[in-house]
């Protein structure tokens, strides 16, 4: 007994490991600054986040909705990742001016190009509004009543916060609704592309190297924020001028050593660090493996066809990249969780939680039922979750079904319109017309995917969990996916560009025709089944889980008073701190914490899709023409690993040294460490950072755009 208690205590004291956490910048003073200083930080909390004085936060940008960027000049110049600027670069590319392949460099401000719909957001202030949001809720309020009170409070507070200003605001829940914070932000709408390396440099290593260490790509691109003459956000205009920021990040080219303090400041998207053992078991043993297996089948089919034809390769390039990105992430995550014995660790923690409340009747009363309830919800939720996985990763992985799904939405809206209801039929129709479903479509590839996915569906989903129409179709064809696929594809209009677009162009006329289309028929049965028999219960359970998690967090805070808690990532501004750090991925292997240009030449495969190296870079390597960017051994540094806790959305985030100088741009995590979205393993979880010296080298020596460096504050 003593023994187990001892090990349990050990586990709990280890639950916030060094370097874990994505902290709230406005709470650093109260929570982290001592620890940060102990680890080497030379700044004050005020220099990192302040409302009244200029601080680092004024140079951190949420870029294009899902990424981060940093301001590096007093003329609004920003650095982000190549993969964050990718769609902007692609938007400006044509066959003649192929910026994806050749790179792009504005040689003066007149050559910088405006990109529609590209936004840059800067946080003005963050405020704890928990009490105000929950005002009016009483112990006897029903769940529905609580919801409506919270909603209306939020609406009023958001409006109040920005009345009479040009700012925007939003309120988000933290810790499952135990806390609420208000964000006042300034969003710039005129953002122009300044520079991007060729993909052979920015995306060197492609999917093979994605999520992997050692890494060798310069994943950066350069943009500039423009404002009106009053330095305020404005729609694009030729009269706009470069934005004058409140703060500019200095750039250090002095390098770093293993063990040096690092800090990442950015907008991490989503993590779930406080899940129960039931949830982690579901993710690691069921959901991740299923999604990985389904995506693997789909990717293999796409890949085979892409290798056969250039047209297919180009059509499927970005679809493939995005399917592959999370396929690989989930695979790393489930392996990492397994190797770390994550479920057992969660169970031990739950035992510890139970023991901590056992001597206190009040706590027992409040939390005693928590785990049994979670267990009960998850028993049901995991079945629904599997259904949802089959929906999005199997049935809707078939493009024909996915396209037809859009038409089911249109049909519903049309019916409403015909009944005279005020609805959005016309706008939805216009939106779908713009989407160009067939740009990235190849019928023979989709036929193969359809057959493979139907096969998986038949094997994996019991008859009782299938929409009746689909089940009958399967039975009528004796479970023969090939027969089903042949029938569907020879009788549908959804797989031929001309026919499908003709339907869209004259939608009301085709009503009967597409209703007799087998793909439409099956798809609408699927959509109907899911929206009546799966999604409502799924959402109901999610809500219940959220309530239980809310209670679980309260309990943890009450019972483990010494532990510091950070809220899960929710696309809001966070600080993660750690150190430059290498790791040992497996027995007998130890990685270095940095890579150099030498490694690019080692990986070089002439004319390869992923590992070709541009001639100019090979020349610079041959001459060792690295300028001031070489390290002390005369090598050109490329990337490094650190122990900062990051996730999707941290792409493009600045990585600072102890003095608040930029040493790199965050762009990925290591494969062994992608589990950190659910559990942070200090031995394995690393973020991957582009060394700013390689960024500057590419701008200056490779692209000949060194004039940009004149704007920057270089610390030599
Ligand atoms: N894994 C990185 C992230 O999650 C990079 C993705 C883009 N690069 C790629 N090769 N698909 O965003
Ligand atoms: N590449 C990711 C992004 O776009 C960052 C990698 C991660 O998930 O940590 O945000």
**Which of 252, 524, 643, 651 is labelled catalytic?**
651
Q: Say whether both 593 and 515 belong to one domain.
A: no
Note the pLDDT of residue 258. Answer: 97
Rounded average pLDDT over 335-362: 96
Mutation to probe ligand 1, out of 325, 649, 676, 690 (largest number of atoms < 8 A from CB): 325
Residue 33 has pLDDT above 50, yes or no: yes
Q: Is 157 within the bounds of a domain?
A: no
Residue 448 has pLDDT above 50, yes or no: yes
pLDDT band at 637 (very low <50, low <70, confident <90, very high): very high
Pick the residue whose CA is nearest to atom 9 on ligand 2: 647
Q: Is 176 within the bounds of a domain?
A: no
User: Residues 389, 291: contact at Cβ < 8 Å?
Assistant: yes
State how beta strands 221-227 and 190-196 pair.
antiparallel
Residue 421 has pLDDT above 90, yes or no: no
Q: Is 561 within the bounds of a domain?
A: no
Q: Say whether both 526 and 659 belong to one domain.
A: no
Note the pLDDT of residue 16. Answer: 56
Rounded average pLDDT over 249-259: 98
Which whole-number Å values give the CA distances from 647 to 2, 85, 363, in the listed order?
Answer: 38, 18, 34
Q: Is 168 within the bounds of a domain?
A: no
Note the pLDDT of residue 192. Answer: 98
Q: Say whether both 450 and 592 belong to one domain.
A: no
Nearest-atom number in ligand 1 for the CA of 321 is 11
Q: What is the pLDDT of residues 512-571, one digit of tens each?
A: 767 789 999 999 999 999 999 999 999 999 999 999 999 999 999 999 999 999 999 999
Q: Is 125 within the bounds of a domain?
A: no
Q: Is 392 known to be catalytic?
A: no
Note the pLDDT of residue 14. Answer: 45
Lowest-pLDDT range of 224-233, 270-279, 411-420 = 411-420
Rounded average pLDDT over 299-303: 97
- Total number of domains constituting the chain: 2
Q: Is 83 known to be catalytic?
A: yes
Q: Say whether both 364 and 466 belong to one domain.
A: yes
**Boundaries of domain holding 708:** 20-119+189-272+573-666+681-715
- Check pocket membership of 186 for ligand 1, CB cut-off 6 A: no
Phi, psi angle pair for 80, to nearest 5°: -145, -165
The H or E element spanning position 113 is strand 113-114
User: Residues 100, 90: contact at Cβ < 8 Å?
Assistant: yes
Residue 6 has pLDDT above 70, yes or no: no
Q: Say whether both 481 and 494 belong to one domain.
A: yes
Look up the pTM and report it: 0.93
Residue of 234, 203, 235, 240 lying closest to 220 (CA atoms): 203
User: Which residue in the block uniquely carries the two structure tokens 């049994």?
Assistant: 372
- Check pocket membership of 82 for ligand 2, CB cut-off 6 A: no
Kindly report the CATH number assigned to the domain that includes residue 583. Answer: 2.40.10.120
Q: Say whether both 495 and 595 belong to one domain.
A: no
Mean pLDDT of the chain: 94
Q: Say whether both 364 and 389 belong to one domain.
A: yes
Q: Is 444 within the bounds of a domain?
A: yes
Q: Say whether both 381 and 284 belong to one domain.
A: yes
Q: Say whether both 321 and 427 belong to one domain.
A: yes
Q: Is 130 within the bounds of a domain?
A: no
Q: Say whether both 476 and 499 belong to one domain.
A: yes
Which whole-number Å values give the CA distances from 294 to 300, 395, 396, 573, in the listed order?
Answer: 10, 10, 11, 34
Q: Is 151 within the bounds of a domain?
A: no
Judged by its nearest atom, the ligand closest to the C-alpha of residue 675 is: 2
Note the pLDDT of residue 670. Answer: 98
| Angle formed at CA 399 by CA 397 and CA 403, multiple of 5 degrees | 120
Residue 216 has pLDDT above 80, yes or no: yes
Note the pLDDT of residue 7. Answer: 52
Rounded average pLDDT over 289-304: 98
Q: What is the pLDDT of residues 658-686, one digit of tens each?
A: 999 999 999 999 999 999 999 999 999 99
Q: Is 93 known to be catalytic?
A: no
> Distance of alpha carbon 579 from its chain centroid, rounded?
23
CA distance 84 to 247: 22
Q: Say whether both 709 and 636 belong to one domain.
A: yes
Q: Say whether both 522 and 626 belong to one domain.
A: no
């Amino acid at each position: 007994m003593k023994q187990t208690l001892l090990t349990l205590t050990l586990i709990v004291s280890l639950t916030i490991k060094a370097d874990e956490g994505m902290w709230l910048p406005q709470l650093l003073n109260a929570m982290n600054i001592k620890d940060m200083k102990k680890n080497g930080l030379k700044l004050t909390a005020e220099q990192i986040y302040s409302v009244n004085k200029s601080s680092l936060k004024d140079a951190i940008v949420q870029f294009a909705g899902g990424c981060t960027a940093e301001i590096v000049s007093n003329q609004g110049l920003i650095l982000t990742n190549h993969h964050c600027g990718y769609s902007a670069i692609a938007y400006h590319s044509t066959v003649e001016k192929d910026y994806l392949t050749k790179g792009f460099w504005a040689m003066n401000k007149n050559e910088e190009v405006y990109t529609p719909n590209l936004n840059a957001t800067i946080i003005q202030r963050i405020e704890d509004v928990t009490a105000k949001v929950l005002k009016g809720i009483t112990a006897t309020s029903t769940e529905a009543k609580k919801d409506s009170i919270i909603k209306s409070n939020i609406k009023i507070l958001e409006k109040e916060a920005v009345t009479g200003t040009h700012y925007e605001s939003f309120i988000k829940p933290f810790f499952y609704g135990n806390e609420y914070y208000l964000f006042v932000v300034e969003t710039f709408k005129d953002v122009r592309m300044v520079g991007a390396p060729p993909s052979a440099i920015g995306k060197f290593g492609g999917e093979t190297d994605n999520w992997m260490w050692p890494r060798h790509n310069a994943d950066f691109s350069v943009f500039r924020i423009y404002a009106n003459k009053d330095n305020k956000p404005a729609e694009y205009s030729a009269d706009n001028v470069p934005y004058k920021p409140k703060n500019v990040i200095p750039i250090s080219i002095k390098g770093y050593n293993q063990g040096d303090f690092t800090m990442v400041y950015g907008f991490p998207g989503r993590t779930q660090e406080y899940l129960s053992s039931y949830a982690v078991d579901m993710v690691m043993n069921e959901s991740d493996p299923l999604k990985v297996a389904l995506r693997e089948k789909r990717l293999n089919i796409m890949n085979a066809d892409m290798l056969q034809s250039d047209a297919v390769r180009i059509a499927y390039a970005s679809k493939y990249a995005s399917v592959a990105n999370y396929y690989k992430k989930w695979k790393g995550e489930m392996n990492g969780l397994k190797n770390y014995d994550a479920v057992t660790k969660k169970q031990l923690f739950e035992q510890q939680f139970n023991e901590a409340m056992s001597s206190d009747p009040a706590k027992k009363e409040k939390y005693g039922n928590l785990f049994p309830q979670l267990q009960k919800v998850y028993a049901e939720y995991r079945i629904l979750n599997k259904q949802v996985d089959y929906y999005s990763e199997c049935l809707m992985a078939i493009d024909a079904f996915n396209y037809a799904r859009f038409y089911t939405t249109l049909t519903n809206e049309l019916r409403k319109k015909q009944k005279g209801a005020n609805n959005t039929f016309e706008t939805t129709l216009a939106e779908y017309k713009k989407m160009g479903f067939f740009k990235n479509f190849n019928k023979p590839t989709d036929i193969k995917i359809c057959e493979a996915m139907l096969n998986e569906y038949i094997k994996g989903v019991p008859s009782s969990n299938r929409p009746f129409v689909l089940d009958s179709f399967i039975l009528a064809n004796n479970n023969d996916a090939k027969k089903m696929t042949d029938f569907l594809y020879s009788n549908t209009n959804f797989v031929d560009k001309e026919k499908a677009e003709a339907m869209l162009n004259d939608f009301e006329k085709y009503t009967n025709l597409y209703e007799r289309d087998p793909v439409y028929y099956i798809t609408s049965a699927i959509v109907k089944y899911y929206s009546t028999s799966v999604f409502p219960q799924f959402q109901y359970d999610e809500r219940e889980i959220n309530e239980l998690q809310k209670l679980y967090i309260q309990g943890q805070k009450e019972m483990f008073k010494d532990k510091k808690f950070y809220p899960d990532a929710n696309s809001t501004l966070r600080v993660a701190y750690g150190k430059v750090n290498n790791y040992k991925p497996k027995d007998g292997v130890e990685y270095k914490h940095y890579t150099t240009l030498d490694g690019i030449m080692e990986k070089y495969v002439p004319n390869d899709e992923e590992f070709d190296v541009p001639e100019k870079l090979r020349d610079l390597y041959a001459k060792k023409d690295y300028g001031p960017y070489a390290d002390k051994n005369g090598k050109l540094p490329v990337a490094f690993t650190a122990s900062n806790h990051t996730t999707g959305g941290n792409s493009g985030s600045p990585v600072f040294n102890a003095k608040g100088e930029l040493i790199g741009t965050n762009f990925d995590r290591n494969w062994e460490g992608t589990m950190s979205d659910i559990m942070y393993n200090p031995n394995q979880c690393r973020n991957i950072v582009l060394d700013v010296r390689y960024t500057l080298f590419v701008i200056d020596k490779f692209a000949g755009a060194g004039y940009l460096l004149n704007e920057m504050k270089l610390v030599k």
